[in-house]
Amino acid sequence: MITNSKLSSLQVMQDAPVIPVIVLNDVAHAVPMARALVAGGIRMLEVTLRTPQALACIEAIAKEVPEAVVGAGTVRTRADAQAAAMAGARFAVSPGYTSAVGQACRDAGLALLPGVATGSEIMMAQEDGFTELKFFPALQAGGAAMLKAWGGPFFDVKFCPTGGVTLQNAPDFLALPNVVCVGGSWLVPADALMQGDWARITQLARDTLNLKK
Ligand code: 3PG
């Protein structure tokens, strides 16, 4: 179990081959969904700040599922970072990068995976001390070929590609030396949440553990 001490971005990335990107519309889904993922071996959970219920969901998971490590996704502003930390998030993921978000996460004690899609964004994040980054949207912005090309100049940066990643194409990304894990929404399908099909979510999590890093 990961204790309450501060996490590093690398710890967030190294825990499992996949970080699930989760969209929750109902607070009642949060705890059983988190337990289902933990039962399948996935405990770093990114709950996106895309719904009015997201913060309450983060709070519920932080309080009631101590085996999980809950983070906030879609963190775009200083206020997002503060609210996520207040709700009990331990890490943050952002779709892009600004120094303000980087500083806000540091101030709030959140490990951050900043989102980047260009060389200049990587350089900005590195300038602020971030070397573990999310490549978003991975498939649309160049996929594994882009990461391979970045491996030259950005030899000291590690990535979590997210966006368009599936169980089928995840191995192409995970085979790259500069990829530590991938992110994806396929582990928590909207219809499984609606149906309360927690066993399906556990199985989807289990399936990802066969992915090799
Ligand atoms: C997102 O932020 O929506 C993630 O990148 C998830 O993308 P996916 O649905 O393609 O996995």
Element (H or E) spanning 184, and its range?
A: strand 182-184
Which residues are marked as active site? 46, 134
Q: Which atom from ligand 1 is nearest to the alpha carbon of 162? A: 5
163 lines ligand 1 (CB under 6 A): yes
- Pairing between strand 132-135 and 18-22? unpaired
190 burial via Cβ count (<10 Å: 0-12, 13-18, 19+):
exposed
32 lines ligand 1 (CB under 6 A): no
CA atoms within 13 A on the CB side of 70: 29
According to CATH, the topology of domain 9-207 is TIM Barrel (3.20.20)
Atom 7, ligand 1: residue with shortest CA distance = 163
20 lines ligand 1 (CB under 6 A): no
Q: How far is the CA of 48 from the centre of ligand 1 (A)?
A: 10
User: What residues have CB less than 8 Å from 122, skipping those under 6 apart?
Assistant: 116, 133, 150, 154, 157
Token pair 């999310």 is found at 134
3-state secondary structure of 209: coil
- Give the Å distances, CA to CA, from 211 to 52, 87, 123, 164: 33, 31, 30, 17
Picking from 188, 206, 208, 207, the residue whose alpha carbon sits closest to that of residue 198 is 188
Picking from 13, 3, 7, the residue whose alpha carbon sits closest to that of residue 181 is 13
> What pTM was estimated for this model as a whole?
0.96
- Tell me 162's DSSP state: B
How would you write the pLDDT of the chain (213 residues) with one tens digit per residue? 555 668 999 999 999 999 999 999 999 999 999 999 999 999 999 999 999 999 999 999 999 999 999 999 999 999 999 999 999 999 999 999 999 999 999 999 999 999 999 999 999 999 999 999 999 999 999 999 999 999 999 999 999 999 999 999 999 999 999 999 999 999 999 999 999 999 999 999 999 998 987
Q: Which atom from ligand 1 is nearest to the alpha carbon of 185? A: 11
Q: Give domain limits for the chain.
A: 9-207
